[in-house]
Each structure stands twice: as structure tokens, then as C-alpha cells.
Chain A
Amino acid sequence: MTIEVSRLTKRYGDVTAVRDLSFTVAPGVVTGFLGPNGAGKTTTMRMMTGLVSPTSGTATIGGRPYRKLARPSRTVGAVFDANAFHPGHTARDHLRVYAAMGGYPDSRVTHLLDLLGLAEAADRRIRGFSTGMRQRLNLATAMLGDPRVLLLDEPSNGLDPEGMSWLRGLLRRLADQGRTVLVSSHALSEIQQFVDDVVVIRRGELVAAGPWSRLAGPPLVLITTPDAADLAAALAAGPAAQVEAVSADRLRVRGLDAPSVADLAAARGLRIHELVTENASLEQLFLRLTTDQAATR
């Protein structure tokens, strides 16, 4: 099921939160929805689900606007607010309210409590839940209807490294089952390991969209070596790699990944003391994408 955003615009008075935004989200992959805070990610996702009415433009899921879906929770599961709970309810109470609303049996509630590792906390009041547990309960709520499409707004907020790795595995499994998964984040480093595609927006406008492997650009590797001059010469002689000397014993290489650099050094008998892959930050990505755009114009 494909999400299709077409010329979407949202104005609040004089402020334009989203401007003429168009992109598609494909099934079977995890798509990262990237942009700094305030870029319009949440507003866009709320427009996809009919919570916010667009000023103009459309957002459809499987060809239909959200409000026209016959049983929306069967098609789309969405998580927006990490704290959308009545604090006096237990996890089971919370899920049972929405199970009733969607027409799902109590067995589905029990299944999801197990699946998301909440079985032991099921009958405790949500007031005492950690952020990680709340995120899991949010996901359980979104998954009640076993939806084909999942929309998660900043799910990595408040998750510890263990939680992140668990989330990564879960989203990968869901995408492998052919579902459409859209995950927003303001921090590229948090989601770049598990997104296949990305949609990048800034100030409500599209910056870039496409497979992450294409947009990420060539890898950047930082080398510390006592044989800097020899290694630089060897790298420069090799396949299209740009070499830059950072200091007397440090080189920055663009266009060759860390294993290739290490193999090349080993073949020439050159020493490497440290080899670090530099991850692109969202800021660097913006800088590159916008300069690329300027260059191609």
C-alpha cells in the first residue's frame, strides 16, 4: 500500500508549515522522514491521517484519503504523541478501549502485550511507565488492527540503545512482511542504519527523496597512520577516491569505504593506527544536497 502526498500545503495564519510538498512512500521498505525540528514532519503526518486538514493538496493511503478508509485502524497504525495515555489506566485498559473501538478481540490485546514485551507490566497503571515502555505501548496500540501501513513520529525519542536496536529489528521485520513503514526523525544518526529510503524536508519544503544509498553520497573515512604520505599516494593512484591530508598523520578519504582502505593498506604493507567511518549528519546532508542542487541548476 503506497502513501501518496501531492502538493500538500498547510498554512497557520501567516506561517506556512508545509509548502507544496509531494512525495510517495513505497511498501516493503522502511522510509525515513527527515528534517530539523519544525520542518513540518509532524504536520505532514497528521495531514496524512486526517487529524489536521490541509490548506490545499492531498494525502492518500492506497489511493484513498484517511477519512474515507472503511476501517482505518485496519489499514494504518500511527504513533504521534509519546504520552497519549490516561495515566490512571493500565496498559491492558488502554489497549482494550481501542480494541473495542476497532472491533478487535481481547486475544489481540494479549498477543500485542506479549509481542511488545509488556506482558509483565500489563496490569500496572501507565502513570509509572518509563518512556521506553510508553513507546512500546504506543506501538501496540497502532498495531491492534494489524495495519498494512505504519506511521511513526519520532519513535526513537527517549529510547535507550537497547530499545533502539529492538525498534530497528521490529521495523525491519514489518517492512519485510511487505508493510509500508514511515519513520520521522530529526536526527539522521538515529535512523540511518535502518532506513532504505529517505524523504528530506526543510522549512516545509522537499529537499530530496529517494534511496538512502544514493542520497548518502560516497563514504567518508578518517585514517590515522604514520605512513600518511605513502598511503595518500597509494589511495590517489587507486579507483576514484579523493584524499585530503588533515594533519601530518591523518587523512580523510571520500569515495572508498573502510574495508577497502584497510585492504589496500595491507596489500602495500602500510600501517594504520585508526580507521573511522564518518557518518553524515543531517546538517552535512542538507549542505551537500543543497549545494548539489545549486550545482545542477
Chain B
Amino acid sequence: MKLLVRAELRRLLATRMWSALLLAAAVLGGAMFGAMALVGPENFDPPMPGLDTETGLRAILGILGYTAFVPAAAGAIAATSEHRHHTAAVTFLFAPRRGRVLAAKLATYAVAGLAYGVVLAGSAGAALFTVAAARGISLGMPAGTVLALLARIGVAMMVYVLIGAGMGALIRNQVAALCVVIGYLYVGEPVLMMIPGVNALYPILPGGATAALTDFTYLADAMSDQLGSGTVPLLPPVVGGLVLSAYALTAAAIAVLIPMRRDVT
């Protein structure tokens, strides 16, 4: 197993995608998030509460959480790469126990996802505190709470790499996997939320679980307002994180079980 993880780490680190991913984390966290903080949510269109309020601060952090499609896409690309480039046969020649190969991949991507989350949350935190100091704003929440929220966003990023990887391993076709993962996150789930009755499920859907993990209720509240329904209560953060991980593990488990029987051609 140690050998397999080392092999997968080498496989991942040798691609350009890996450096591009860390760069994306720094750009999203440092540059994009920093720019948003600099402009200030109160100057958005439509205007949102400012950084000196708790609502405003939570909202802007929630927007950062919405970049989870980047690690999800990276996970899907990494997990479908062997199928796309026909290296799966070579890999299974070296390691005929296919479940272990996939487990090693997931372990590797978890480490990579954590690195992405640390860079994203770290650069966003640095940008936020720098901008607040420069603009002379006192943030709407204590620094400790902000840091804890950032850490939760970082963890969410890691889980999203695994969700993408699990779906990728299951679907195998790279383009299809990307369409399903990103399409669900940005089209499928918002549509589901508009269907009366189904929106009660929101807390246990990936988006709702992410919102619980990152304490981001702005979108859910806005949607409930528009639909005139009552506020949908989110799960506690830890449970949200567990639900999110369960999605990743379920996709991965199905992917582990199916390839055992599939012929590799």
C-alpha cells in the first residue's frame, strides 16, 4: 500500500495540473478573495452587508467556499486520467488488486486536497486580515472564529477533491465526469432546491452539507425568502462534514467494487 501511494504521488506531482492547482488556490484565495475584500461586499451589486458585520463576513467567506468546483474538477480529472490515457492496464499489471490501487489514489488525492485547502484558506486569511488592516475595518467576527471558518473551508476543499475523484473513478470518462460533477454543483442542486418538497432534502445534499460545514447560510436563506418557504435548517458543521465525506466515500466504494469485475481493454 505504501508503494502504491508513493507511485500515485509521483504520478500526480509529475503533471502540470498539480502546480496549476496550487496556483489556482493562491489566485482564488489571495487575488480573487483579496480583491473582493478590498472592494468590500457593501459595494457589490446588489450590495451585501460589509466586512464589519458578521453577515457580510460570513457571506464573503461562503463565496470562497463556492470555489469548491475547482478541487472537485481536479479530483475528477486525476481519477479519470488513467482511463483517458489507457494507463489503467499498465497499472493493473503492476498491481492486480484494483481496490488497493483506488484506495491509494484516494489517499494521495486527500493529501493533495488538503494542500490545496491550506493554500486557499491560508492565502485568503492573509488577504482578509491585510485588507482589513489597510482599510481600517474591524472585522465582524473575532479573529479566532474567522480562522476556524477558514479551516473548515480548507477541509471542505479536501472533501471536494475526493468527491470529484470518487465520481471520476465511477464514471471513468473524463468529460462526462467533469460535466456531472460541475453540472450537479451549479445547475442540478439549485434546480432541485426549487422543487417544493425536495428542498427539504437540501441539508443532506452536497451543497447543503457544504453550507453546514462552512456555516454559509446566505444562499439557502435567500432562496427560502424568494420561494416564501420557511428557512431550511442546516445540519451542525461536523455532521455536514461527515455527510460530505460520506458522498465521497460512497462514490469511491462503488468505484472500488465495480472495476474488480470490469474487463480492462
Binding site for B on A (CB under 8 A): 46, 49-53, 66-67, 69, 72-73, 76, 78, 80-81, 83-90, 93, 96-98, 100-103, 141
How many Å from the CB of A12 to the closest CB on chain B? 9
A72/B265 in contact, CB under 8 A: no
Cβ of B89 under 8 Å from chain A: yes
A88/B96 in contact, CB under 8 A: no
Cβ of B135 under 8 Å from chain A: no
Kindly list chain B residues whose C-beta atoms are within 8 Å of the C-beta of A102: 3, 94
How many Å from the CB of A72 to the closest CB on chain B? 6
Kindly list chain A residues whose C-beta atoms are within 8 Å of the C-beta of B263: 46, 51-53
Complex Cα gap A67–B11 (Å): 23
Complex Cα gap A78–B96 (Å): 13
Q: Which of A83, A86, A141 has the most CB of B within 10 A?
A: A86
Complex Cα gap A158–B97 (Å): 32
B96/A84 in contact, CB under 8 A: no
A101 and B89 in contact, given A53-B263, A66-B96, A67-B96 (Cβ under 8 angstroms): no
Kindly list chain B residues whose C-beta atoms are within 8 Å of the C-beta of A51: 89, 92-93, 263-265
Task: Identify the closest chain A residue to B261 (Cβ).
Answer: A53
Task: Identify the closest chain B residue to A69 (Cβ).
Answer: B96
1/0 contact string of B64-95 vs chain A (CB within 8 Å):
00000000000000000100011101111111
Q: Which of B89, B90, B97 has the most CB of A within 10 A?
A: B90
A87 and B7 in contact, given A46-B263, A72-B93, A101-B91 (Cβ under 8 angstroms): no
Complex Cα gap A101–B91 (Å): 8
A86 and B85 in contact, given A72-B94, A98-B94 (Cβ under 8 angstroms): yes
Complex Cα gap A90–B11 (Å): 11
A89/B265 in contact, CB under 8 A: no
Q: Which interface class (under 10, 10 to 19, 20 to 34, 35 or more) fits B?
A: 20 to 34
A89/B264 in contact, CB under 8 A: no
B89/A89 in contact, CB under 8 A: no
A101 and B264 in contact, given A50-B92, A73-B94 (Cβ under 8 angstroms): no
Cβ of B4 under 8 Å from chain A: yes
B7/A93 in contact, CB under 8 A: no
Complex Cα gap A125–B264 (Å): 26
Complex Cα gap A51–B95 (Å): 11
B85/A85 in contact, CB under 8 A: yes
Kindly list chain B residues whose C-beta atoms are within 8 Å of the C-beta of A86: 11, 14-15, 81, 85, 87
Kindly list chain B residues whose C-beta atoms are within 8 Å of the C-beta of A67: 96-97
* Other-chain residue from B14, B86, B91 in contact with A89 (beta carbon distance below 8 A): B14
Complex Cα gap A90–B95 (Å): 22
Kindly list chain A residues whose C-beta atoms are within 8 Å of the C-beta of B96: 50, 66-67, 69, 72
* Other-chain residue from B6, B16, B93, B265 in contact with A49 (beta carbon distance below 8 A): B93
Complex Cα gap A69–B94 (Å): 11
Q: Which of B86, B92, B96, B97 has the most CB of A within 10 A?
A: B96
1/0 contact string of B230-265 vs chain A (CB within 8 Å):
000000000000000000000000000000010111
B87/A101 in contact, CB under 8 A: no
Complex Cα gap A88–B18 (Å): 12
How many Å from the CB of A192 to the closest CB on chain B? 28
Complex Cα gap A130–B11 (Å): 22
A100/B87 in contact, CB under 8 A: no
A88 and B15 in contact, given A51-B263, A72-B96, A101-B4 (Cβ under 8 angstroms): yes
B6/A84 in contact, CB under 8 A: no
Complex Cα gap A69–B86 (Å): 23
How many Å from the CB of A103 to the closest CB on chain B? 5
Complex Cα gap A52–B4 (Å): 22
Complex Cα gap A50–B260 (Å): 10
Kindly list chain B residues whose C-beta atoms are within 8 Å of the C-beta of A84: 85-87, 89-90
6 A/B residue pairs, CB under 8 Å, sorted by A: A46-B264, A51-B263, A52-B264, A73-B93, A83-B86, A93-B10
Task: Identify the closest chain A residue to B12 (Cβ).
Answer: A97
Kindly list chain B residues whose C-beta atoms are within 8 Å of the C-beta of A69: 96
B7/A81 in contact, CB under 8 A: no
Complex Cα gap A86–B85 (Å): 6
Kindly list chain B residues whose C-beta atoms are within 8 Å of the C-beta of A101: 3-4, 7, 91, 94-95
How many Å from the CB of A64 to the closest CB on chain B? 12
Complex Cα gap A97–B13 (Å): 10
How many Å from the CB of B16 to the closest CB on chain A? 6
Kindly list chain A residues whose C-beta atoms are within 8 Å of the C-beta of B14: 86, 88-90, 93, 96-97
How many Å from the CB of A76 to the closest CB on chain B? 7
